[in-house]
A and B are shown apart, each in its own frame.
Chain A
Amino acid sequence: MANRPRTRLHVPQPPARPGDRADFSYLKLQPAGAQPRPDVKVSALATPPLATGLVRVLDDEHRAVGEWHPHLEPEVLQAGLRHMLLTRIFDERMQRTQRQGRISFYMRSLGEEAVSVAQAMALRPGDMLFPSYRNQGLYMVRGRPLVDLMCQLLSNTRDMCKGRQLPVMYHWRKGNIFSISGNLATQFPQAVGWAMAAAIKGEDHVASTWIGEGSSAEGDFHAGMVFAEVYQAPVLLNIVNNQWAISTFQGTAGGEKSTFAARGPGYGVAGIRVDGNDFLAVHAVTQWAAERARKGGGPTLIEHVTYRASAHSTSDDPSRYRPKDEYERWPLGDPVQRLKMHLIALGKWSEDRHAALARELEEEVAAAWREATQHGTLTEGPRLDPDLMFEDVFKEMPQHLLRQREQLRAERG
């Protein structure tokens, strides 16, 4: 009887909690250059090696190696470095303003900058982006003035959302960046629908969308994958595997026995797992997937292996659920540092130039902040008109909202 097999509920556990030594031995890594780059029209069913391996271009000596080396001009690499550094400096400054009580809430993308910046640079301006809330690098690449982003964070009189959205839930119609929802993963099937419409209209624009590994457990992921495969939608479906969904590690989202990219071939969708902290690798994989989509090859599921170096948000304290030194021991390093060292190795960058760029961007961010706060903050200065609350529920304001607007006006005297 003692040897009789029993069922037993398996509850995944992260390898380390506070006080433990950080342990990333669970990560399946491959050296830079190890993955072959197949033709963009390769069958999705032939992609499991890509989906379980790891596409990397930058090696430990800061060289770009292998078939995925995108051979970008040094100016492109420098622009990428600038966008990533700007994203980081912007994030740091906004984090401080939240701590000073000037904005209510913020979410940094520290350590994940390449995921947004490299992909946005590899796409075309007419391609539509459906981001999550940790993709601010997209705005840096597409050139939205920093003041506009800050005014949204401040919910001030120039807030693009007219005071209706939590900070960081930006949108930009002219820049082809979709409105961010606070409900996770909902953008996944929406991006697929946008791409289906592009195909129905016979246009060669593609859509791209990002969700976290945590929210890939939502039904929206499944629906998006099925529709993308069925209609061969020209869409890039990104899972940003930053290891942590607030306090829940990636094993609880289904990453313990398999990779997230490996779900792709199961749906008949090409899957690629990429080093998300390697600017060149993310750029190269994006180019591949976008070309595949534009040539009628259908969707690609891309898992970006990265690490959420910051807290989930300003309301979160990661020291309560993970070792403090995890990021220092993260084996894939820092995307900014890695691209910087690559450029230095190429002889196209230097520590001095880097320091000068950082000072320039810090001043740019500080100047934008001074300008943004002229338009008010949540608590000081000019305020948005509360009448705006009743607009845009519908295109035209129905009777009951007109009446409620009157009632509020009377209430405010």
Chain B
Amino acid sequence: MARMNMIQALNSAMDVMLGRDPGVVVLGEDVGYFGGVFRTTDGLQRKYGEHRVLDSPISELGIVGTSIGMAVNGLRPVAEIQFADYIYPGYDQIVSELARLRYRSAGDFYAPVTIRTPCGGGIRGGQTHSQSPEAIFAHVCGVKVVMPSNPHDAKGLLIAAIEDDDPVIFLEPKRLYNGPFDGDPAKPAVPWSSHPRGEVPEGHYTVPIGKAQVVQAGRDVTVVAYGTMVHVAEAAARSLDIDAEIIDLRTIAPLDTDTLCESVCRTGRCLIVHEATRFGGFGGEISATIQEQCFWHLQAPIGRVAGWDTPYPHAFEWEYFPGQKRVAMALKAIMSAS
């Protein structure tokens, strides 16, 4: 075991896989010599050579398109899109090509591509460096969508994604890179070394894709979250002294409905928390699924806390961010309904 922050854990996952599988290649803007703008690929090109860790032109379309071709030719590309906000030029290649190749060729061709991309706000990134686009990938048949909330899961899930024969969109909540964040920007930053999930095995291990995790057991209400919002939800529940069960989805698609519904049927109450915008957001899908399967157990309407339905504003970042207060108010409303 070692203490790692999320960047080191992700770096370690790629290091392990580059070492184990000669077919693994890493490519993206600034990922090679420089080691990535967030340092996630630091040292990998030096260790594995410039044929395995490639600096790419600034073209998300080209990064995804060439990754598909490489994968069809037997490699396992790990492509970095520098910010999730930049992924849209590659969207057609993801939706129409990467996600559908296995299906349209009846399994003859497939492309095991992992697309890593930092997402989410809380770093003063403004509207072009803060988006959480998980829902627009969850809606695409044929890609898996993953978002870890801590270094241990980040490494295990990234290794699982690279080894997966299906394409994976791997969203990294960048506010969590250096430490858990409970939603209060005024408090001093906390490093991962103080958090149990900052303990990370140095070698190879996987965290299964498609399995949610109950991060805190409880009886009164189920809070469903992922990414940064797992930590915000924990802090909000603590502040209210509510016996909340907190579920970290870890994988957005395919969704672990069994874990979710077992919990909600038991607690009878549910709050869904995500940072992405609310309308058409992934919370709607979770809510509908729970309503279908747990309706007769529900004691209160299912609640949703999300980012406002506006672009992520630079100057009003903390009014936008669904922080502890917004989560706590929603939790109170759910608990007082009868």
Contact = CB atoms under 8 A, between A and B. Distances in A.
A179 B108 contact: yes
B59 to A, nearest CB: 5
A171 B93 CA distance: 18
B61 A194 contact: no
Contacts of A220: 61, 65, 93
Interface string B146-170: 0000000000000000000110000
Interface in B41-69: 51-52, 54, 56-57, 59, 61-62, 65-69
Interface size class of B (residues with CB under 8 A): 35 or more
Given A223-B62, A393-B142, A400 B255 contact: yes
Nearest to B90: A223
A398 interface: yes
A183 interface: yes
Nearest to B64: A189
Interface in B91-114: 92-93, 96-97, 101-110
Interface stretch (A6-14, A197-205, A252-260, A325-333): A197-205
A178 B72 contact: yes
A358 interface: no
A190 B104 contact: no
B97 A186 contact: yes
B142 A394 contact: yes
Looking at A192, A227, A395, the one whose CB has the most chain B CB atoms below 10 A away is A227
Nearest to B108: A173
Interface string A102-135: 0000000000000000000000000010100000
A158 to B, nearest CB: 11
Given A161-B106, A392-B103, A393-B102, A189 B69 contact: yes
Given A394-B142, A395-B166, A164 B106 contact: yes
Contacts of A179: 101, 104-105, 108-109
Contacts of A198: 73
A223 B97 contact: no
A398 B254 contact: yes
A130 B73 CA distance: 12
B69 A399 contact: no
B242 interface: no
A219 to B, nearest CB: 5
B104 A189 contact: no
A366 interface: no
B255 A160 contact: no
Interface size class of A (residues with CB under 8 A): 35 or more
Nearest to B96: A183
Contacts of B66: 189-190, 192-193, 196, 223, 227
B23 to A, nearest CB: 9
B225 interface: no
A193 B97 CA distance: 14
Given A183-B92, A194-B72, A207-B69, A392 B106 contact: yes
A220 B59 CA distance: 10
B254 A400 contact: yes
B142 to A, nearest CB: 5
Contact of A193 (B59, B68, B107): B68
A395 B110 contact: yes
A196 B25 CA distance: 11
Contacts of B135: none
A395 B74 contact: no
Nearest to B99: A393
12 contacts: A161-B105, A171-B109, A183-B92, A189-B66, A190-B66, A193-B68, A194-B72, A197-B70, A197-B75, A394-B142, A395-B110, A399-B258
**Nearest 5 A/B pairs, CB to CB:** A193-B69, A189-B65, A193-B66, A223-B62, A197-B73
Given A188-B65, A226-B59, 16 more contacts: A128-B72, A164-B104, A178-B72, A179-B105, A190-B66, A193-B71, A196-B70, A201-B73, A220-B93, A223-B61, A227-B62, A391-B107, A392-B103, A392-B107, A393-B102, A394-B254
